[in-house]
Amino acid sequence: MAGFETDAPGTTQLLMGNEAIARGALEAGIGFAAAYPGTPSSEILGSLAPVAEKMGMYAEWSINEMVAMEAAAGAALFGIRALAAMKQNGTQVVIDFLGNLVMRGLGGGGLVLVSCDDPSAHSSSNEQDTRPVAKWLDIPLLEPGDFQEAKDMTKWLFDLAEEIDNICILRSVTRIAHARGNVKLGELPKREHRVSQRPPVFRGMPPHAGLHQKLARAQEKFESSPFNCYVGPDKAELLIITGGSCWLHSQEAVKALGVEDRVGILKLGTLWPLPEKFVESHLGKSEKVLVVEEIDPFIEQNVMELVANLPLTGPHPTFYGKRSGHINAYGELNPDMVIKAIASILDVSYAPREAEYAKKADEATRGYVPPRRTGFCPGCPHRATFWAMKNALRLDGREGFVTGDIGCYAMAGGPTGFFQTRTIYCMGASAGIANGLGQLWRFGLEKPILAVCGDSTFFHATIPALINGIWNDSNFTLVVLDNSATAMTGFQPHPGTGMTAMGERTHVISIEAICRSLGARVEICDPFDLKNTTAKLVELVAEGGGAKVIIMRHECELVRARREIPPYRVHVDPEICVGAACGCDRLCTRVFLCPGLIWDEKAGKAKIDEVICAGCGVCVDICPQRAIIKEAA
């Protein structure tokens, strides 16, 4: 199948926004890419890494976003075009470095940070907006409004970064990064990457003053950029100013309402610094301006600031948007929300569907669309770990407090993890928070403290907190959920897997060796062995003293299933299952909550859904009647 890297200029492919960004980077002739996986950014490096060798470039999954950004900057220092990609949380981690990088310049290579935001936090712990970071740190920022632009802007940003000797940011959101659309491919440069042999020289100007000059040069280019455009009548009743995926939503909304001759859309792609002259030249088109954008009122406030500085004779439209309440002040937007805002301002009516059908749909669906909770997959080792933890803490009897972290196991605060984790912040925060909690015994806290983290999270941000805990003798147990995968984002390799992004075998960095070298007591369990895992947890939690580590090691089921058939065939023996008479109150289907276990209403007994069951066999050990039977497959 022709991939995104195919050398066929002029042909069109259906590309995910992230693939389009990767293609743009290839067309710009990048030599270096580094990233840490995070939805919705993961497919950028995920696309580049497998083709890196063929394209004569280098690509790596780095241990975390900070190292990815710094490594990419290192390549740029010696003249290699470099890209770092991450989600918004990563960008926040990198701010300290960026704040210093912009003061010093890049050397010879162009450097681009792709920061993918996740409005509504579909796959995130927050929905922070990257755009204010650009304004705060004086970094030019562009945002693509469709898939073609995702490619074209990425390519162009490398030229800009090189020209002004400053890092540039491409901001993308979930509905571009993770959506797909048509992209016409451009030329792939034939270039061999060679470093400049002269070390980078940082020129003249006091750094901050020089930075402002760079921004002014970027702004000048933005004034005539093809990434900004206006569509609509010369005089409009309403002018929409928008960017990113809201450009697509806005066009859809105007069309749905049939108000193309009444509403104009000013689409901005160069968001920081604002192309002020370009915006000003369109502000006179209407006395009403609606700003449509996701998360923070970034465009809205910058345009308002511009208008506040215009002479009294200039355009001073009435603003609608987040401040006026016409656009939500948080969360993702969609065409319906934009339709509603326009309809309200223009006082037009809109009915999404026939009243009769609406009524029928309302009646027909009542009681027929139960909510579908997310949970751990069938066969997931985390379910077993948290089952053991629940029982161990009950046996301990002191209401242990468990801090959570980022990964699939973030769901452990809900029913699928038996409500075991009680906090969720950022990567590495579980052990960090536990450091504090583990000192509170002196103020009367009598609960045992546990912190959970995944294997990739352990490497990413947990190690310093663990060292701190051992150094300062903080009393907590670190539970490392080692499923040998960065499972939440798509199974990327990490330092413990013995593989690099480019598919080369490398050193396996051992979690237990690191922990033992620090002097921690380390236990290793297979969580599928519920009995032993529970006993070990009870023992460690009871031990007291400083920081301890227990590694729950069992491969992610989704990775295992790609390789081999399920280990067991599992069924419920209807002769042994006594159903409601058991007294267990449907422990298997109501509490253990594996999607493979279902309740047969007619028979009043549990059964296995053979299409869903992963054949792990863990449920065999939770049934008080031993009615669940496993046989080697």
Kindly list the residues in this chain that would bind another protein in the complex (CB under 8 A). Answer: 1-2, 12-14, 39-40, 122-123, 146-148, 174-176, 178-182, 245, 248-249, 251-252, 256, 334-336, 339, 352-354, 356-358, 360-362, 364-365, 367-377, 408, 411, 415-416, 558, 580, 586, 589-590, 593, 595, 598-601, 609, 611-612
Q: Residue 93 or residue 380: which is nearer to another protein going by CB? A: 380
Q: How far apart are CA 433 and CA 466, in angstroms?
A: 11
How far apart are alpha carbons 570 and 572 in whole angstroms?
A: 7
Taking the least distance from each CB to another protein, the nearer of 223 and 600 is 600
Q: In the bound complex, what is the minimum distance in angstroms from residue 175's beta carbon to another protein?
A: 5
Rounded to a whole number of angstroms, the minimum distance from the CB of residue 593 to another protein is 5
Query: What is the DSSP code string of 527-555?
Result: TTSHHHHHHHHHHHHHH-SS-EEEEEE--
Pick 197 or 365: Cβ nearer another protein: 365
Asked whether the beta carbons of 477 and 389 are under 8 A apart, the reply is no
- Residue 565 CB, nearest approach to another protein (Å): 11
Q: Measured from the CB of residue 4, what is the shortest distance to another protein in angstroms?
A: 12
DSSP states of 198-243: SPP---SS-HHHHHHHHHHHHHHHHTT-TT-EEES-SS-SEEEEE-
Closest CA to 29 of 148, 142, 109: 109
Shortest distance, position 487 Cβ to another protein, whole Å: 8
Residue the block writes with tokens 């993890």: 417
Residue 190 near residue 196 (C-beta atoms within 8 A) = no
Q: Which is nearer to another protein, 377 or 540 (CB)?
A: 377
Q: How far apart are CA 255 and CA 247, in angstroms?
A: 12
**Calpha distance 605→591 (Å, rounded):** 15
From CA 476, how far away is CA 547, in angstroms rounded?
Answer: 5
- List Cβ neighbours of 587 (8 Å cut-off, separation of 6 or more): 622, 623, 624
Per-state percent for the chain, helix, strand, coil, to nearest 5: 40, 20, 40
Q: Which lies closer to another protein via its Cβ, residue 139 or residue 253?
A: 253
Q: How far is the CB of 327 from another protein (least distance, A)?
A: 16
Nearer to another protein, 138 or 146 (CB): 146
The candidate with the shortest Cα–Cα distance to 406, out of 384, 383, 423, is 423
Q: How far apart are CA 435 and CA 464, in angstroms?
A: 11
Question: Rounded to the nearest whole angstrom, what is the least distance from the CB of residue 64 to another protein in the complex?
Answer: 22
Residue 185 or 515 having the CB closest to another protein: 185
Nearer to another protein, 190 or 353 (CB): 353
Bridge partners of residue 60, in order along the sequence: 34
Report, in Å, the least distance between residue 125 CB and another protein: 12
**Residue 320 C-beta: closest distance to another protein, Å:** 20
Q: How far is the CB of 40 from another protein (least distance, A)?
A: 7
Nearer Cβ to another protein, position 314 or 415?
Answer: 415
Fill in the DSSP letter of residue 327: S
Nearer residue to another protein within complex by CB, 88 or 174: 174
Query: From CA 170, how far away is CA 245, in angstroms rounded?
Result: 14
**Over the range 268-284, which residues count as b (16 or more CB within 10 Å of their CB) and which as e?**
bbbbbbbbbebbbebbe
Could you tell me the smallest distance in angstroms from the CB atom of residue 317 to another protein? 25
Q: Nearest distance from residue 240's CB to another protein, in Å?
A: 14
Dihedral over Cα of 354, 355, 360, 361: its sign: positive
- The alpha-helical segments, DSSP class H, found in 78-146 are 88-101, 131-137
| CB closer to another protein out of 546 and 595 | 595
CB 627 within 8 A of CB 576: yes
Closer residue to another protein (CB): 89 or 166: 89
In the structure encoding, which two tokens stand for residue 283, read together?
A: 């502000």
Radius of gyration over every alpha carbon of the chain, rounded to an integer in angstroms: 28
Q: What angle do CA 477, 482, 483 make, to 5 degrees?
A: 150
Cβ nearer to another protein, comparing 178 with 322: 178
- What's the N-to-C CA distance of the chain in angstroms? 35
Least distance in Å: CB of 273 to another protein?
A: 27
Longest dimension (CA), the chain: 88
| 402 or 588: CB nearest another protein | 588
Minimum gap (Å) between residue 41 Cβ and another protein: 12
Nearest-approach distance from CB 29 to another protein, in angstroms: 26
The residue (of 269 and 469) whose beta carbon lies closer to another protein is: 269
Please choose, from the candidates 458, 503, 492, the residue with its C-alpha nearest in 3D space to the C-alpha of residue 44: 492
Distance CA 124, CA 40 (A): 9
Q: Which residue has the tokens 């496993």?
A: 630
Separation of alpha carbons 490 and 487, rounded Å: 5
Kindly state the DSSP code that residue 125 receives in the 8-state scheme: S
